[in-house]
Amino acid sequence: MNSAMTYGSIEMLPLPASRIVFGTAIGPMTSGGNADALLDGAAERGINFFDCARSYGRAEEVLGGWIRRRRNREKVIVLTKCGDIRDGVVKVNRQVIREQLETSLKTLQTDYIDIFLLHRDDPETPVSEIMETLYEAKRQEKIRLFGVSNWTVNRIREGNLYALQNRIEDFSVSSPNYGLALQMEDLWGGGCVSIAGPEHREDREWYAATHMPVVAYSSLGRGFFSGKFRSDDPEGARRVLDSYAQKGYLYPENLQRLKRAEEMAQRKGLTVPEIAMRYVFASPMNLFAVVSTTNPERLDMHIEAAANPLTAAEAKWLEEGDTQDV
């Protein structure tokens, strides 16, 4: 393992998990190209945790091929997600879970998946059906543990209460949006869930108290904190950000947070993305951050950020701003 990388514990996994999770929703992988050099670069830096999904084009195929060629299945943690989202309508039920799990196993060329998540919530499907189906897959040793992406804390609690009452496995991992940028609108539809911002403070406190692993996505606001535009240049932001990022993050509240990040970056001699990622790891939650890049050298900054988070006071200043020096 890379000595600079920091690792966390996820119960029921035999490996410590790298705090930086390599996200496979990138062109070289979704298109089905060869990404061996890119994945090798991530692994050389100590990343052993890879985030995938059925909806990420051919990413599962590419990741599975790399694992087979490198013969490193027991050295990596594979997370993938299931669920149909069509015209903003989510469908996750017993049939979808079973069929997509089998497809993921075949595509990844593996006998088991370490972490299997439901990509969205389907409120039309009872939690009893979901929990029993996932627990069945775990008993069959097709998955090591299961959880959810974009589920509210209340819905997670509902599922875990059913599991407790019926003495079966409960949700072990959650993957919401979390970062310095406030997710003001649902980017992709289907019920994207964020735990950023003051209105979700109780959710974060619940995650911290339960120590449930949080695999946070879009921690840099899909490029909002890339440093490629200034807080006083919204037109520059529109040139840099894609339509999804503009829909979700390009708002005055976030431009104010960006301005404070710029000021802190100048004081500390760091870049804006370094500040934003160090903010993420200032959280008391058991947090792992998904990072996507086509250049493995860019992972170094994120690895450094995980090892050197901001203080609680610095994080609060970025959120709220005040006259107190930080």
CA dihedral sign, ordered 33, 36, 42, 43: positive
- The answer to the question of residue 203 being in a domain is yes
How much is the pTM? 0.95
Calculate Rg over the CA atoms of the chain.
19
Domain carrying residue 203: 7-222+272-317
- The answer to the question of residue 304 being in a domain is yes
Structure tokens at 165: 């009452």
CATH of the domain at 26: 3.20.20.100
Q: What SS3 state is found at 222? A: coil
pLDDT over 80 at 87, yes or no: no
Question: CA 132 to CA 136: how far, in whole Å?
Answer: 6
**Could you report the per-residue pLDDT of 261-313, keeping only the tens digit for each?**
999 999 999 999 999 999 999 999 999 999 999 999 999 999 999 999 999 99
Give the DSSP H or E segment for 312.
Answer: helix 312-320
Is residue 284 within 8 A of residue 208, CB to CB? The reply is yes
- The answer to the question of residue 177 being in a domain is yes
In sequence order, what DSSP letters do the residues of 228-287 get, joined into one string? Answer: SS-TT-HHHHHHHS-HHHHHHH-SHHHHHHHHHHHHHHHHHT--HHHHHHHHHTTSSS-E
Is residue 271 within 8 A of residue 225, CB to CB? The reply is no
Question: CA 149 to CA 147: how far, in whole Å?
Answer: 7
Smallest CA-to-CA distance from 286 within 200, 199, 178 is with 178
Residue 285 contacts by C-beta under 8 Å, 6 or more apart in sequence? Answer: 178, 204, 207, 208, 214
Residue 178 contacts by C-beta under 8 Å, 6 or more apart in sequence? Answer: 194, 195, 196, 204, 214, 216, 217, 219, 280, 283, 285, 287
Mean pLDDT, residues 236-242: 96
| Percent share of the chain, pLDDT over 90 | 93
Structure tokens at 205: 């406190």
Structure tokens at 9: 């514990």
pLDDT over 80 at 2, yes or no: no
The runs of H, that is alpha helices, within 57-152 are 59-70, 94-108, 127-139
**Could you report the per-residue pLDDT of 134-183, keeping only the tens digit for each?**
999 999 999 999 999 999 999 999 999 999 999 999 999 999 999 999 99
Structure tokens at 325: 């020096």
Please state at what angle helix 127-139 crosses helix 94-108, rounded to 10 degrees. Answer: 30
- The answer to the question of residue 263 being in a domain is no
The residue count for the chain: 326
- The answer to the question of residue 160 being in a domain is yes
Q: What SS3 state is found at 38? A: helix
Q: How many domains does the chain have?
A: 1
Q: How confident is the model at residue 324 (pLDDT cuts 50, 70, 90)?
A: low
Q: How confident is the model at residue 1 (pLDDT cuts 50, 70, 90)?
A: very low
Question: CA 309 to CA 135: how far, in whole Å?
Answer: 36
- The answer to the question of residue 88 being in a domain is yes
- The answer to the question of residue 142 being in a domain is yes
Is residue 125 within 8 A of residue 158, CB to CB? The reply is no
Beta bridge partner(s), residue 198: none
- The answer to the question of residue 62 being in a domain is yes
Q: How confident is the model at residue 84 (pLDDT cuts 50, 70, 90)?
A: confident
